[in-house]
Structure 1
Amino acid sequence: MEETPSKEESNNKLNDRKLSWAKLRRVDSFNLEAGRVSDIQSNHSKLTWKVTLILAFQSLGIVYGDIGTSPLYVYASIFPDGIKNNEDIIGALGLIIYTIIIIPMLKYVFIVLWANDNGNGGAFALYSLICRHMKVSLIPNQQPEDRELSNYKLEEPSSQLKRAEKIKSKIENSKPARIFLVLLAIMGTSMVIGDGVLTPSISVLSAVSGISKSLGQGAVVGITIGILIVLFSVQRFGTDKVGISFAPIVILWFISIGGIGLYNLFKYDPGVLRAFNPKYIVDYFKRNGKKGWISLGGVFLCITGSEAMFADLGHFSVRAIQISFSCVTFPAILAAYSGQAAYLRKFPENVSNTFYASIPGPLYWPIFIIAIAAAIIASQAMISGAFSILSQALNLGCFPRVKVVHTSVKHTGQVYIAEVNYMFMIACIIICAAFKTTEKMSHAYGIAVVGDMMITTTLVTLVMLTIWKTNLLWIILFVLIFGCTEALYLTAQLTKFPQGGFLPIVSAFFLTMMMGIWHYVHKERYSYELENKISPEQVNELINDSNVNRVPGIGLLYSELVQGIPPIFPHFIANVPSIHSVIVFVSIKSIPVSRVVLEERFLFRQVGKREDRMFRCVVRYGYNDRIENPEEFETQLVQQLEWFIREEDQIVFRAEVDQEGRVSTEQVGALARNEPESDHEVIKSARSSFSHRIAPEQNNGISRASSDSARATPGLHGVEEEVKFVEKAREKGVVHLLGEVEVVAKPTSSFINRFVVNYVYRFLRNNFRQGVTHMAVPRRGLLKVGMTYEI
């Protein structure tokens, strides 16, 4: 039976509660807003089996076209000089079988897919996942409130696993390590872009080459270019619609290649199934030596498109990808390669055109048509993946501004980027015209794919070490099996560097440089604003200047700064000595999560005195969130501002506890409005004490009578007047105030810094969208003022 606490102990507890409640005077208003949603369901809740199966069906039309069309050219790439020994066919088939099992099946389907960021895959999804668990972001805009997001899903490493804490600490305290991580994510994205350009070219060209004997190679290239133009033209309709229309064709393709493969297997030589015995792989290398090692470049082409399973994950789901690969793709391509091997055992001289030569006569033209359709679809896999990953890079400040169009209201992550789409189309046309044959193109293709896979392996290893806290033995096995396998394939691919392998490396280098420079200047620009932010005293002086007029309306002043008032504000007043009756400093901030629910998107804080009617607002978006049109954005912001004004006056900043333990409240919100930036620990303790404080009906320890008396205070009338004032100001008009910031290098900086900032960055900025103009603000509601930052 529990002992009844003494009166002295009760008094001590009450005194402790008084002290903890008194701390609330220092709580930042941003923190009050961050706790508004306590029971938000995850955006990636469990899907029903019906939806999962529909997504699995759609994924066949988007994800597997590339890996599914590899049988068109793999054997020709393995044996470019013909087959010298019939036993080599079994050895090559063994390499194909185990490569498919190890990389796509074991690595991607059963391991890497789970290293997703709220259902999104790709290098930047892994990077954002790491950023949430470690302070490795180079841009210093982290806020403690971000951890309160329902999609953040942050779990600190347990104290029992000191290894994770030690690695985390070393990376956080090492600037080179943090730079290396972001460069790794950028390089991974660059490789995906290179893959997205080469996949359409080689897939369509290999399919159309079936008529090269009758029409000639020139006609094949011309037809390929025409098909590619049509393919890129339909991208604007979106992954959802394209996937539905493509999926039946891909299923027909898999049925065709699987059926033909089984037919050839039993007709010519079922004995090729001995290839499942690794002994034949060893014998293959013994017979061929260096040539066998070089042929690994051709073997590797059987798994091109594996990265699409992870890159396109945001369009579908983990279960959908696992079902479609395990039940359809894997058995079909295994049957296709086995059937081709059986055919080559009888007709080794046809290795240069294995796929079309092995088709039974009556089926040749129907399969040819299906092959072209499947090759077109193969191109879709990496195009969709490139769109998704570039969208993530854009929102994490690593890519110049482009317009991202969300093409599906049902499934998040399905996006289309017009500028990138047409750049891909031009690049594909140039590559087809330059290389002309799939053999030459395959030299470039493999390096881009294996490079991307190795970056994914590195990032997933880091996730296993610091986030999953996996047993060290499993991590070592993961690196040894997958890392070493990919490294071996990379060495074979590098032998083709002079024959075209240089293309993805050179393109990835330039893309990495472009994205790295953009991220560097973006970071330096933010740091400049942070160092030169305006103090509350300076703001008070500016708005109370007799020469400054207040005009009716709401002014939204945009800035990327989330920790204060940007230096462009006094520059505005100096050029236009009047400000609106309501001013909101808006910071549109990208959070390293896939989505931020609307209820958690806006964080407000009042600046200065109430009568000044100035507010700071951080608008948080995940990298898969769509930015609303200006009218919708204005409506949401004003509604949230009115909510903030009402709630802030009802939040308990000071409480006194009487001897009976009841809590009485008084409206002292004004005390907090002039407080400096809050201490993070104070915020944390305040949040734990007031997780439900914003809902008086669900208060914890705060009596309903107290809440009702707070509502009945005379200050409530003033609050409603404030809300009406904001509504009237909106009726007068909302003006979007944009700072046209020109970034230049300091005259004393190095030559490299001046070249990067003054020329490269300026070129990128002038040729892509600027600032928040991607919101398509109408000109009548737009006011721009220029300013120069020296970094």
Structure 2
Amino acid sequence: MESLCPQTSPSGMATLTETPAVAPESAHEAQTHSLPMLMLGAIGVVYGDIGTSPLYAMKESFLGAHPLAVDRLHIFGVLSLIFWSLMLIVTMKYVLVAMRADNKGEGGSFALLALISRNLGDKKWASGLVTLGVLATALFYGDAIITPAISVLSAVEGLTVVEASFAPLVVPIAVVILIALFLVQSRGTAKVGLIFGPVVLIYFAALAVLGVTNIAQHPDIIGIVSPTWAVKFFLYDPKLAFLAMGSVFLAVTGAETLYADMGHFGRKAIGVSWLTLVYPCLVLNYMGQGALLLSNPAAAENPFFIMAPEWARLPLVVIATAATIIASQAVISGAFSVTHQAIQLGFLPRLHTTHTSAKAAGQIYIPAVNWTLLVMVVLLVIGFGASTRLAAAYGISVSGTMLITTAMLAVLIFQVWKWNRALAFCTIGLFFAVDAIFFASNITKIADGGWFPLLVASVIFTVLTTWATGRALMRRRLEEDTIPMEVFIKSAASIHRVRGTAVFLSTSPNSVPSALLHNLKHNQVLHERVLILNVKVEDIPHVPQKKRIETHKVGNWFYSVILHYGFMEEVDIPADLANVQTCGEPFNMMSTSFFLGRQKLIATKEHPGMALWRERLFAWMMKSSESAMEFFKLPTNRVIELGSQLRI
């Protein structure tokens, strides 16, 4: 298979980082905000997913696919596993290690991949690392579908604790909430974002208060901080304890968000928020649920809501629902951002993208992603019908992503940071052991619903790799007919020149674009100034403005211009050409024409590369992609497209 390494081309490029819609624009902007404000923002966005885990994690541990006896050993054993899972995965792996692996302030799977690639250059296993990064992205989409469904559904199910007769209304209410959530995406989330932090802060306060109130009834529950209870659980029934890890893992879903959103709030704000507020509140609530189960084993049917007094249950449902909506919003925004970055790095075709804020570049809306997610989420809620059934499908994609992150951290620690070998082996060995156990336990859920995220990930992985490989094949076919720029300029010395500037987008700054050859063939003229424009996406999130433009005079009023962008930035060719000062007179859009090549792809068996069905899929994606004119923000009345057929 063709290398999946990102290529530079005017058709797009990216990384896989979740970018919430309510965060500061970048790590640089985050530095201008006070720590308390950044912490409030992080609480509202970063911790929405992991913060809503108490709604279902304990319930699934005792009543899930592999139910446990609600007795002292199992209660203490499960809680000890949850406490130490949060400690090892969130605190140690992400807060203390992964968040040190920032790529110019940004985090996430592709940011980590780009960081490793930039420091190690071309290695034999570089393609394997890229494949891991793409796989992590594919798994993320499976998580992006399940998270809103299980979060909102589990919160609305609290109504059945308030009044059992509300049970038939749970699914319809959850569907209405989710539809409303997706319908407002096109309006942006700036205004909603202002209340994210305070609402989730109230939610975490409720977690702590409920926890402390119930702990007071059984203070001995604090003993779960001892890992001996987890050990006793495994020694008592190793098989059941292993299977229970799949439910325990629900307590740490959302941990990847800490690293992915690092660039928007900063490592310090996220780390301090976790250690001083989020972690303590979560632990107190889990302890409170455990204390409740010691007194009332029947409460295992929904311990989160039953632990509240009757008068507080309906308000708690409202607060929990608001928190799950916020958690869902963060995941949806992350899906938009991941898609945008995948387009930028060349793993997805161009899709129509709307910017919903004039101030924050991270606030974007992609209709195709939004409506696809809505359909899948609603079908998921209706098809599974209960959070307990959804929990069986939840966890596989997240645990797979965490395992991939550990693999890439291993390369970083050994090859880039060059830690002491003993320390590196111990650190990575511990992370691998924990992640592998969780992943193996979650694999047992495949028959009970775990097949769904794997199916989604398989489809997305096929799409991502087909597009990346297809673009590489298309470039190869186009390059077969290209002419070196120097040769062309010499042969075109006698061609008639007309007034104005012509800009030809090209995949290479050193060869003649097919659009230029077609234009010369049909019109038999050249403009007095010709730019061969190449868009190049670097392996850093943001390129400083002073390094954006690279120009070279090729000769006879031909210029090669390279525009450099970071993988989290959007391309705006006219805006950047206005800053070019080294290619003759300043650019006037009214006297500048942009020439684009548009290929009609024909899938054939003549040229080996991909299976015929994948070539057809690539051709369809190429045909369905957004116009390069819109993607690069070119003036509509100054663009000429020249088409041709290309067999791949």
Q: Same fold (TM over 0.5)?
A: yes
Change (3 A) 1:241 1:463: farther
- Whether 1:644 aligns to 2:582 is yes
2:515, 2:596 within 8 Å by CA — same for their partners in 1? no
1:65 & 1:45 partners in 2: Cα distance? 24
- Whether 1:624 aligns to 2:568 is yes
Deviations 1:16-46 (CA, angstroms, capped at 9, x unpaired):
xxxxxxxxxxxxxxxxxxxxxxxxxxx8559
| Correspondence list, 1:667-706, <5 A | none
1:737 & 1:204 partners in 2: Cα distance? 49
2:60, 2:247 within 8 Å by CA — same for their partners in 1? yes
Change (3 A) 1:592 1:239: farther
Question: 1:203 deviation in Å?
Answer: 0.3
- Whether 1:182 aligns to 2:40 is no
> For structure 2, which runs of at least 5 residues remain unmatched after alignment?
1-25
Query: Which residue identity is paired with 1:382?
Result: V
- Whether 1:549 aligns to 2:493 is no
- Whether 1:585 aligns to 2:568 is no
1:353 & 1:638 partners in 2: Cα distance? 61
The residue number in structure 1 matching 2:14 is none
SS across alignment from 1:544: coil
2:567 & 2:533 partners in 1: Cα distance? 18
1:736, 1:781 within 8 Å by CA — same for their partners in 2? yes
> Taking structure 1 as the reference length, what is the TM-score of the superposition?
0.75
Change (3 A) 1:242 1:464: farther
Deviations 1:413-449 (CA, angstroms, capped at 9, x unpaired):
4544332122211211111111111111111111011
Question: 1:92 deviation in Å?
Answer: 0.9
SS across alignment from 2:437: helix
2:369 & 2:262 partners in 1: Cα distance? 20
SS across alignment from 2:247: helix
Question: 1:300 deviation in Å?
Answer: 0.6
Query: Which residue identity is paired with 1:637?
Result: L
Change (3 A) 1:298 1:534: same
Query: Which residue identity is paired with 2:536?
Result: K
Question: 1:469 deviation in Å?
Answer: 1.8
SS across alignment from 1:603: strand
The residue number in structure 2 matching 1:65 is 48
| Deviation larger for 500-509 or 387-396 | 387-396
Deviations 1:256-279 (CA, angstroms, capped at 9, x unpaired):
01111001001x201011111222
Deviations 1:275-309 (CA, angstroms, capped at 9, x unpaired):
11222112112223322211111111001111111
Query: Which residue identity is paired with 1:490?
Result: F
SS across alignment from 1:110: helix
Change (3 A) 1:782 1:300: same
The Cα RMSD (Å) is 2.2
The residue number in structure 2 matching 1:205 is 153
| Deviation larger for 775-784 or 254-263 | 775-784
| Residue of structure 2 aligned with 1:560, choices 477, 502, 507 | 507
Query: Which residue identity is paired with 1:379?
Result: S
Task: State how many pairs are aligned.
Answer: 618
SS across alignment from 1:362: helix
| Deviation larger for 452-461 or 384-393 | 384-393
Deviations 1:101-144 (CA, angstroms, capped at 9, x unpaired):
111111111111121211222211111112212334xxxxxxxx
SS across alignment from 1:295: helix
- Whether 1:455 aligns to 2:404 is yes
Question: 1:179 deviation in Å?
Answer: 2.6
- Whether 1:345 aligns to 2:285 is no
2:600, 2:646 within 8 Å by CA — same for their partners in 1? yes
1:45 & 1:462 partners in 2: Cα distance? 27
Question: 1:410 deviation in Å?
Answer: 5.6
1:297, 1:489 within 8 Å by CA — same for their partners in 2? yes
| Residue of structure 1 aligned with 2:545, choices 581, 598, 606 | 598
Question: 1:57 deviation in Å?
Answer: 0.8
SS across alignment from 1:228: helix
The residue number in structure 1 matching 2:91 is 105
Deviations 1:733-774 (CA, angstroms, capped at 9, x unpaired):
2211110023445643349443322x1101112222143531
Change (3 A) 1:131 1:407: farther
2:30, 2:265 within 8 Å by CA — same for their partners in 1? no
The residue number in structure 2 matching 1:85 is 71
Question: 1:489 deviation in Å?
Answer: 1.0
Change (3 A) 1:49 1:120: closer
| Residue of structure 2 aligned with 1:255, choices 179, 199, 205 | 205
Change (3 A) 1:47 1:197: closer
The residue number in structure 2 matching 1:74 is 57
2:27, 2:263 within 8 Å by CA — same for their partners in 1? no
Question: 1:493 deviation in Å?
Answer: 0.9
1:751 & 1:522 partners in 2: Cα distance? 11
| Deviation larger for 336-345 or 117-126 | 117-126
Query: Which residue identity is paired with 1:68?
Result: G
1:639 & 1:179 partners in 2: Cα distance? 36
The residue number in structure 1 matching 2:618 is 761
> For structure 1, which runs of at least 5 residues remain unmatched after alignment?
1-42, 137-171, 646-721
2:473, 2:609 within 8 Å by CA — same for their partners in 1? no
Change (3 A) 1:782 1:409: closer
- Whether 1:733 aligns to 2:552 is no
1:202 & 1:412 partners in 2: Cα distance? 29
SS across alignment from 1:644: coil
Report which of the two structures shows the higher radius of gyration computed on alpha carbons.
1
